[in-house]
Each structure stands twice: as C-alpha cells, then as structure tokens.
Structure 1
Amino acid sequence: MNNDALLEVDNLHVSFSTYGGEVKAVRGVSLRLHRGETLAIVGESGCGKSVTARSIMRLLPKNNSKITEGSIRFNGRELTRLSEKQMRDVRGSDIAIIFQDAMTALNPTMTIGEQLMEGVIRHQRLSRTEARKRAVEMLQFVGIRDPELRLKQHLHQFSGGMRQRIMIAMAAICSPAVLIADEPTTALDVTIQAQILDLFRMLQRTTQASLIMITHDLGVVASIADRVNVMYAGQVVESAPVKELFRNPQHPYTRGLLDSIPRLDRPRGAKLDAIPGTPPDLFAPPKGCAFAARCPHAMEVCGLFPPDSVKLDGEHTVACWLQDARARTMPPQGPAQVETASASQG
C-alpha cells in the first residue's frame, strides 16, 4: 500500500441481500486519498458511489448488507475490523460525511444548536458553554448570519442552501481529517452551488482537510477536484488527474459522460449525446466488461473477460480492452476542456 495516503480502499466488495437475491453493489473498488486532496467520484445513479462512501463510514444497514472482501485503512488503521463503539469514535472526529438531503439527515425535532454541539461535546469533551461558542463560530464560518439566534431554531426555518451550510458546519466542527460530501449540491440552484463549492475550498484552505466529492455533475468535478475516479456498475473504470481526464478520456463510458453535458462550443440547438441502453443488472453482473452492452467499440473479448486496469501516463489508469495492443483504437476526440465543463454550471 502507498504509505503517504491518508485513506486507502483496496478491492472493496459490498453486497446487499434482498428478496430477489444478492445485489453486488460494489465490485473491487480501490482508491487513494492524500492529505489536502480533493478526489471526485463520478458516475450514473446506482453505480456504487454512495455505497462506497457509506462503507468507509461503516454506515451500511446491518440487517442486509455486508463487506464481503477488501480493506479500508485510515492513517494505517484497518476500519473494517473496528467494533461499532470504536467506529463511533472515528465518525465525526476523524472522518465525517455530508449527506445530500439535509431534511432527512438532520433531526427536525432538535434545534440546530443541539445538533451542532452534540458531536463536539462527545469527541472533544468540551463543556456546553465551550461547545456553544464553537457552534457559533462554525455557523459564522459557513456564512450564516445571526448565529446566536439561529442556534435556537429548527430545520424547517432554514432554506435549502442554509441547510446544506449547516450540514457542512456539523461535519467540520470537530476538524476531521477527511470529509466525504455525498452529492452536496444536487438539489441546489447553480448560484447556491457555486457558494457551497467556494465554502468547501475555504474549509480546505483553513483546515487542510481531504475531501471526497461524490457527484454526477461534471461541472462540479471540473471546478473543485484534483483527481477523478469514474465508476460504472460498482467498479472504477478510469482514474486520472482532473485536467488529464477531461482532455484525454480513455474509457468509452467516460467519453459518453463528457459528451452528454452541455458545451459552450456546440452549435445552438445541437442535441446532447446520450449513452444508449441501461446499466447491467447487479443481481447477476456480466462476466466480462460491465459496459460492453452499451459500448460502441465493444469487441468479442469484452463480453467474455473483465479487463485489467492499465496504467497510462502518470496517474492515469483505465480498465478497458481497447488499451490492449491487439485492439483497434477509438477514433480521436478533441480535448474536452475543463474550462468548458466549468462554464456549463452557468
């Protein structure tokens, strides 16, 4: 393993038991997160992004889910072997998660102040007076006015953007080394999205926290990420520094995602390209490449054997049979400039 990585996930497999059978939601995911880095995980809904995040936090439902294989290490400590009591000491203190929907993640019956203070009292052993002072500071930091008044209010008294700011304040109040943001801008308009992304940048500059940004919005990826992992059908199919991925995508699925977003250099009225077909059934994953049935460049071997991950230049890796020396090459593609994707946010 890479000793300078803060968080390491190796060959993670996660499955869910259902009435219809076993769903293999995550199939061999590996990732590295370094100190102060922002890693984006992108892909269609259902590709395993959120399950990977919840696995890191050990927040999967206990009655029907299990990590069947793999390792999750934080600062060299194996998280999969910790008891629930030990994990409660890790959550919030070392690793914190920001959920997509604050209305379901926060408690509507408790005041915002009670929820902010709860974690810092538990993990940092502060008195209620000290915890309250810290909560006020965090609300000010995330840009909420009149923090003393706001501490006494409940969730329904805040707008969507302010709820997301409260979620960020709650996650950051104990100064964790790793923040996991699970689609934190999905339900927000583009103006509030930009403000939330600026808040993440400021938080990283101030605390040097590492960030995992889970999203399907490539505009968000272009504007905040250092590296990108592209997931499909529970697997990482391509990983690269953000500029390299936008300029030189090598997996047909990554190209399909980039072709499906609005571009300022497209002719007016031009239709967006959609990826044909649907993702595979993870009750019975395909034995070959999971993207083969939707891929315009699929070969016979793609349906028979899973491709190995191949390292290209630098940190760029891709799992695709097209990287084999015997395969035909994809037609050249003009660079998908990062600035274009950033501008697509509005």
Structure 2
Amino acid sequence: MTKSHPSEALLEVDNLHVSFKTHGGEVKAVRGVSFTLNPGETLAIVGESGCGKSVTARSVMRLLPEHTSRITQGSIRFKGRELTQLTEKQLRELRGSEISMIFQDAMTALNPTITIGEQIMEGIIRHQKLSRAEARRQAVEMLQLVGIPNPELRLKQYLHEFSGGMRQRMMIAIAAVGRPSVLIADEPTTALDVTIQAQIIDLFKMLQRTTGVSIILITHDLGVVAKIADRVNVMYAGQVVESGTVRELFHQPQHPYTKGLLASIPRLDTDRGLPLAPIPGTPPDLFAPPAGCAFAARCSHAMEVCSAYMPQPTPVTGSHEAACWLQDPRARQAFQTPPKISIKTALG
C-alpha cells in the first residue's frame, strides 16, 4: 500500500506472505502486506480478529514459531538491513535494543516468579553491558518515566502485586528501557477501562516526545486509533485493503470494509435508539483464500469482477490508497459515498 520515500523510511515491509502449517493444511495468514514506518510516527494496523495484524507484527521481529510458520515471500528491511536473512543470534541483538514489542496480555507475557526489577534489568544488562547497579538505576528511571510511584519498592515486587493498568505500564517500561527505534504495541489497551486507556495513550505520546520512538499500534479500537495514530492500515483476510492518514480514513473511507468498521461505531450525533450496522457474513477461509477480493462475499457493492480477480491498490490521493474494484473508473458510477464520520465522533 502507501509507501514513503526509501531514504525516509525506518522500516519497510514489502509484499510479505506468511503461512502456517497445520494438520488441515496450509493457512495463508498474511498475503502480500506492504507498508512503511517513518521516524517518530505512529502507524496503526486495524481490523477484526484473525485478519493478520499480530502475525504481521511478530513477523517483523521474527517471533513466529519456526516449526509451524514460514515467510514464503517478501522483504522486511530495518534501516536498510534485511531482517529475513538474519541469524537467530543477530536477531537477539536486534530485539529489545532496536525493535521492541509490547505483548497483548501482561499476565502471560511477564514471568510471575521473577521480580519486575529483574525483568526490566535483564534487557539493560544484555544489550548495554552495564553493571547491575547501573542497570538498577536505569530501571528506576524508566519506572518513573512510565508513571509508576515508589519505583525503588516496585522493583522488588512481583506481577500479582500490580493492577491491570500498572502491569501494562510495566510492559511498556520493559519494552522501552533499551531506547529502541521501533516499538510494536499489540492491543496495548485491551481489557482496560477507558480512564486507564487514556493514560496509556498519553504515555505513548510522552515516550514519543522524549525518545523519538516510532510506534506500530495493533488494535481493533478505532477510538484509540483516532487519538494517537498518524497513518492507518486497514487489514482484512491477511491483506491491507486501505491505507492513509487518520483524517483520510475517518473522513473519506473508500473501501467498503473500512466503511463497515466505521458504521459499527456507536454514534452520539444521531437519534438515540438507532441500531448499529454490523457487517454481515464471516471472513473467508484462509486455507483456500478466494481468487478475487476477500471481502466480496460480504460486500453489498460486489460486482462479478470482485469474485474473479484480485483488486490492486488504487491511489485516492498521494497518501491514500484502497484495494477495491469500486475505485476503477468504470465502476465509479456504482460507488456510493456514505455520510462522513469525524474523528471526534469516533472517540465517542
């Protein structure tokens, strides 16, 4: 989809294909994903569960299980370095120091038998080759930075002694302590109440201001996207179906799936009692992906060509693309523009 000039891009993913081997056959989880990430920006990847968001993110860090998954095609370049060709030893040096990931569930991502201090200090000692005393000092500073009170005491505590919001802050501290260039956040606000969500979003913004880190945000929450993202990639059935700036995606969505996601958001500017508009049907089976547009079976605008041929990304503006046959000049007359949705409305 939309790509930046190579000299500007920090991370470049080009035509990425990822498959999983199962007893039932090969699952084609990611099918030709392309995007770029520029220094200091936040790129959101959105879509429903199973669309390939987390698989794409884990592929960047090469964290998928080798015995069941493989990158069948494509390129992942970080600062011009091809990550798909690195050895496991080279990847271990890269993870944590250059690219870090905040996993979705702190209770399963963190070790409940080791103190929080040991888990934060581990990366500092490994990548920066510092003494335990200096690593401890940096760990205290990082806890202060992410808003954890009494950091000296907290270093000695275990996971069960923290609330959900505090655990998420710990995850961010562990990921950010090595001062990486790229921070991948996989559903960082899931299962948190709206007040804590707002605090976590503000924390990401603060980290970006103070460290200049670039963020890839994996989420299904469009309200969070509206608050923090610069650009958005909308994924469906392992593909990026639309990409653009936040304003373009919220004000001028072009793909029917993007419009469906926006239409499913509760509105405050309409009459109360108006039912939500869910997207009918179910995603396609990725054991045998359709030959054409993966959304065709659920799309009210689908034409014969949609099921037969895969649509290619079509520029809408210089920064906005949509992979949809409705963008073809011959189909423009069938295209219906829905009422615009503002970012403020999406936030509720």
TM category, shorter: over 0.9
Shift of 1:332: 2.2
What are the residue-to-residue correspondences of 1:165-314 with 2, within 5 Å?
165-314=169-318
Distance 2:200 2:145 in 1: 12
Corresponding residue for 2:128?
124
| Identity within the alignment, % | 73
Q: Give the TM-score normalised by the residue count of structure 2.
A: 0.98
Deviations 1:105-152 (A, max 9, x none): 001110000000000110011110000000000111111111111100
Of 333, 336, 341, the match for 1:331:
336
Distance 2:104 2:193 in 1: 14
Distance 2:168 2:323 in 1: 35
Q: Residue type of the partner of 1:130?
A: E
SS at match of 2:283: coil
SS at match of 2:200: helix
Shift of 1:329: 3.1
Counterpart check, 1:84 vs 2:92:
no
Shift of 1:3: 2.2
Q: Residue type of the partner of 1:165?
A: R
Counterpart check, 1:316 vs 2:320:
yes
Shift of 1:330: 2.2
CA RMSD of aligned residues (A): 0.7
Shift of 1:63: 1.2
Distance 2:228 2:259 in 1: 20
Distance 1:36 1:134 in 2: 23
Aligned length: 343
Q: Residue type of the partner of 1:151?
A: L
Q: Give the TM-score normalised by the residue count of structure 1.
A: 0.98
Shift of 1:271: 0.8
Counterpart check, 1:59 vs 2:63:
yes
What are the residue-to-residue correspondences of 1:33-72 with 2, within 5 Å?
33-72=37-76
Q: Residue type of the partner of 2:170?
A: I
Corresponding residue for 2:30?
26
Deviations 1:245-281 (A, max 9, x none): 1000000000000000111112111111000000000
Distance 1:253 1:79 in 2: 31
Corresponding residue for 1:155?
159
Distance 2:260 2:11 in 1: 29
Which structure 2 segments of 5+ residues have no match? none
Distance 1:286 1:313 in 2: 28
